[in-house]
Structure 1
């Protein structure tokens, strides 16, 4: 596909700190590892922050799909070097795939966004997002060729990390840019088939990165080169994510489930480490 779109973004240390608070960092104010992401003295950018910077102004906006019936399918970010806690960048977003599941069965769309710091030519980060559009099938597109998801090991997890979300976490996370009422308004959530507002998928995405960062990186964000997931079910604010981790060399595989409901919400997770 040839659809392309350019945009520019600026972010500040305050934006970075608000994002870190929205994904649950700083819940224990005396934890100096987490404080580094929410306090301006020596502030560090969290590895998944680029997906927030590149959230708006994407090529997908021009496809013409009905967003009332779109589900977030997969998300990935590749960091080509450490992300600065403040700066200005330009992005080039393009559609890289569309797979037709047939009339009445929906379609899968994938886009890639390359981010470059202002005044530079080397890419800073590459973001990939895949969406399932339930109302868009039947346009005679290809049905085969969609990339296979990462397969997690079949052995028992090497480690399991439990992170509990807060009841107001979606209300806090949405202040970083995703103002979809599905995450705040009870009536909108019920109309969409949910018992109450759900947590943003990108917040769950970042929470899984928190687990990897704490368990295998000693909270050093420069060690994370790539982080990807496949979303399989929504999370309700206040629930606990049990994140199963497998480490093989520089690859960390993971899946996350909600203990209260015994539902897997993140599948096929993969994080690549620098060493």
Structure 2
């Protein structure tokens, strides 16, 4: 794996991305929405207007399309480290955008160490030209260090309050959840092929997509902080710290910090395992009207 140190600041050419009402419903099903979330999973229920989960932003503005700008990298060594999104206005149930992705930074941890890459994507409404969403993805390339890039600085993390969470929501992750989520675009066999998960990645079974876990937590935050109103959840950031396995129960713990900000963590627990931290450093921003 050879990373091009000159990749910092490079951007992709604008790419068109479009989605339909079916696509946004399929995503909602992929992150666990169901009969209690009819506005996100149906388009013809009496008295209910279809809406889109805010976390669909990570599908619309996929920053990973900038990865080829880094040069010859080994995708099997890639780990998703963190994800954030900023939704500038409620997502339409169908639409089209022009997406540009950029390599924002690359940190070199030295020979034998990792490379840490920050990718940013912006999606503009193709009709109005207005900003719809922005996303930021942190990816870790294991063993990718030593290419002569900058050493970088220590990342600042916010401090969680020393008190119990103000709210907690638990959601079961069905055994077929990863198979459903992959239909929104991520066909990595790590999440579907038992042989690949065992022989190539060292897991006993396929694991859930990190962005699926992110979406599950987003649903919990939307319900607890915004009373389910998709227009009120505007920002969400989290770091991925451990995998979730289909069949686990995912619990999101929420600390309200102000009328417009909350911190969160998510824990996964299997039938015969202790809870493990799977999302950390979580922060969410909501509109003031949601308070």
With normalisation by structure 1, the TM-score equals 0.95
Q: Report the equivalent of 1:8.
A: 16
State the alpha-carbon separation in 1 of the partners of residues 159 and 18 from structure 2: 36
- Aligned ranges 1:167-182 → 2 under 5 Å: 167-182=175-190
State the alpha-carbon separation in 1 of the partners of residues 252 and 203 from structure 2: 23
State the alpha-carbon separation in 1 of the partners of residues 151 and 167 from structure 2: 37
Q: Report the equivalent of 1:125.
A: 133
> Which structure is higher in helix share?
2
Query: What is the CA-CA distance between 1:140 and the residue it aligns to?
Result: 2.2
Query: What is the CA-CA distance between 1:143 and the residue it aligns to?
Result: 1.9
State the alpha-carbon separation in 1 of the partners of residues 215 and 157 from structure 2: 19
Q: Report if aligned partners of 1:76, 1:229 keep a CA contact under 8 Å in 2.
A: yes
- 1:89-122 residue CA offsets vs partner (Å, 9 max, x unmatched): 0011111111111111111000110100112232
State the alpha-carbon separation in 1 of the partners of residues 146 and 266 from structure 2: 33
State the alpha-carbon separation in 2 of the partners of residues 73 and 185 from structure 1: 22
Which residue, out of 230, 245, 249, partners 2:254? 245
Q: Report the equivalent of 1:38.
A: 41
Structure 1 vs Structure 2 CA RMSD: 1.3
Query: What is the CA-CA distance between 1:54 and the residue it aligns to?
Result: 2.6
Q: Report if aligned partners of 2:170, 2:250 keep a CA contact under 8 Å in 1.
A: yes
Matched, 1:225 2:234: yes
Q: Report the equivalent of 1:59.
A: 66
Matched, 1:105 2:113: yes
Q: Report if aligned partners of 1:7, 1:57 keep a CA contact under 8 Å in 2.
A: no
Query: What is the CA-CA distance between 1:144 and the residue it aligns to?
Result: 2.6
With normalisation by structure 2, the TM-score equals 0.90
| Runs of 4+ displaced beyond 4 Å | none
Query: What is the CA-CA distance between 1:56 and the residue it aligns to?
Result: 7.1
Which residue, out of 250, 269, 273, partners 2:282? 269
- 1:218-247 residue CA offsets vs partner (Å, 9 max, x unmatched): 100100110111000000001001111100
Q: How many residues align?
A: 270
Query: What is the CA-CA distance between 1:148 and the residue it aligns to?
Result: 2.1
Q: Secondary structure at the residue paired with 1:124?
A: strand
- 1:1-30 residue CA offsets vs partner (Å, 9 max, x unmatched): 22101211010000000000010101xx2x
Which of 259-268 and 137-146 deviates more? 137-146
Q: Report the equivalent of 1:155.
A: 163
Query: What is the CA-CA distance between 1:50 and the residue it aligns to?
Result: 1.5
Query: What is the CA-CA distance between 1:146 and the residue it aligns to?
Result: 5.2
Stretches of structure 1 lacking an aligned partner (at least 5 in a row)? none
State the alpha-carbon separation in 2 of the partners of residues 220 and 256 from structure 1: 21
Q: Report if aligned partners of 1:153, 1:253 keep a CA contact under 8 Å in 2.
A: no
State the alpha-carbon separation in 2 of the partners of residues 97 and 150 from structure 1: 21
Query: What is the CA-CA distance between 1:57 and the residue it aligns to?
Result: 6.5
Q: Report if aligned partners of 2:9, 2:105 keep a CA contact under 8 Å in 1.
A: no
Q: Secondary structure at the residue paired with 1:58?
A: helix
State the alpha-carbon separation in 2 of the partners of residues 222 and 212 from structure 1: 13
Matched, 1:259 2:266: no
State the alpha-carbon separation in 1 of the partners of residues 156 and 118 from structure 2: 13
Q: Report the equivalent of 1:48.
A: 55
